[in-house]
Amino acid sequence: MTEKTDIIDSKTFVEVTIVGKDKEGIVADTTNYIFKNGGNIEKINQNVVKGLFGMHLEASFHTIDKAKMQKELGELGKKLQMEVKVHFHEENKVKNVAILVSREDHCLLKILNSKTAGEINCNISLIIGSDEKLKPIADNYSIPFFFVNHTDQNIAEKEILNLVEKFDIDLIVLARYMRILTPNFVWRYPNRIINIHPSLLPAFPGAYAYVQAYERGAKIIGCTAHFVTEDLDQGPIIIQESFKVAPEDTLETIKIKGQIAEAFALLEAVKLFLEDKLEVYWGKVTYK
C-alpha cells in the first residue's frame, strides 16, 4: 500500500513570515528556496526595527507537499537562527479566528451573535482576555477562554503567540483589546490582525478618542476598522463608520453611539476578511 501524503494539486498561496535578529542572507536564502520548489513570489515585505528583522512573503504554488515544506522551511529557520512560520491559504477554507478582549463586551457580543445567526462563517476557536471580566460570555457560547496576565507585555505576547499557533489561527480580531502589540508580534501575522479604533483615523489617536472629539466640539465622529501594523493606529483602513453629534449629545451618549458603530464596523471588516474579499497593496486595502 502506498503511503498517503498531504499534497495539494490546485494553486495554493503560502505565507512565510521570518522574525529574528537582523543578519545577511535571509531574503536570498528564502527566495531561492521558493524558486527551487516551483513557487512564484506574489508579495514580499521586510522591516528592521532596532536590530529586529521581520519579513513577510507570499508565494503561489501549483503543487506542493505541505508537510515537506513545513519541515524544510523549519530547517532553513534553524540555519538562519530565525523564527520561521508557514501559513497555507486555501480557498473556501473555514477560517479559525481568535478574539482578543479586555473589559468592553460590545464588539465581542456583536461577532458572537453574528456567528450564532449564521451571518459569518468561521470557527471562533478561542477568546483571549487581558482581564477575566468577559469569561462568562465565552462560557455561555462554549468557547475556550484564556486569561493572559499582561503585567509584562513581552511575556504576555509569547503566551498569546503560543495559543494562536496551537489553535492554527487564520485571523486575530482585537475586539477592544486595549493593548499595543509590539512589532515582534505583529510581523508574525501581517494583514491578519484586525483592530477597531474609536476615531476616523488618523485623527484622535490613542484610547481616549471620544473624549478628545467631545472636548474639541467635533460635529462628526466615527471609528475605523483596520489591519494592525507596527505603527500605532496607522494600519491599512478596511471600514469606517461615522455619526453626527447632536446639540443635546453628552459624552455618555456619544460613547454609546460610538460603541454601536464600532461593533458594526469591526464585524463588517471581519466578514470581508472571512470571505476573502480584502487585498492590501502598498499600504492600502482594496476589495476583490
Q: Which of 22, 233, 249, 276 is catalytic?
A: 233
CA pseudo-torsion sign 15, 20, 21, 25: negative
- Residue-wise pLDDT tens digits, 191-236: 999 999 988 876 666 677 777 777 766 678 889 999 998 877 778 8
Question: CB atoms < 10 A from the CB of 43, how many?
Answer: 15
Proportion of the chain above pLDDT 70, given as a percent: 93
Residue with grid cell 530547517, as numbered in its chain: 75
Residue 233 annotated among the catalytic residues of the structure: yes
Contacts of 4 (CB under 8 A, 6+ apart): none
Q: What are phi and psi of 283, to 5 degrees?
A: 80, 10
Determine whether 211 is exposed, middle or buried from the number of CB atoms within 10 Å of its CB (0-12, 13-18, 19+).
Answer: middle
65 confidence band (pLDDT: 50, 70, 90): confident
- Residue-wise pLDDT tens digits, 27-61: 999 999 999 988 899 888 888 877 888 888 889 88
Q: Report pTM.
A: 0.81
Q: In Å, how far are 15, 59, 107, 189 from 40, measured between CA atoms?
A: 12, 5, 38, 21
CA pseudo-torsion sign 166, 48, 181, 110: negative
Q: Architecture of 7-89 per CATH? A: 2-Layer Sandwich (3.30)
Intervals of CATH 3.30.70.260 along the chain: 7-89
Protein fold of 96-287: Rossmann fold (3.40.50)
Q: In Å, how far are 38, 41, 74, 260 from 30, measured between CA atoms?
A: 13, 11, 11, 45
pLDDT at position 24: 85
One-letter amino acid at 152 equals D
- Nearest by Cα to 278 from 102, 47, 95, 119: 95
- Measured distance CA(136)–CA(155) in Å, rounded: 25
Intervals of CATH 3.40.50.170 along the chain: 96-287
Q: Is the pLDDT of residue 139 over 70?
A: yes
Q: What average pLDDT does this structure show over 85-113?
A: 91
Enter the C-alpha cell of residue 256.
Answer: 454609546
DSSP summary character for residue 277: -
- Nearest by Cα to 57 from 46, 65, 73: 46
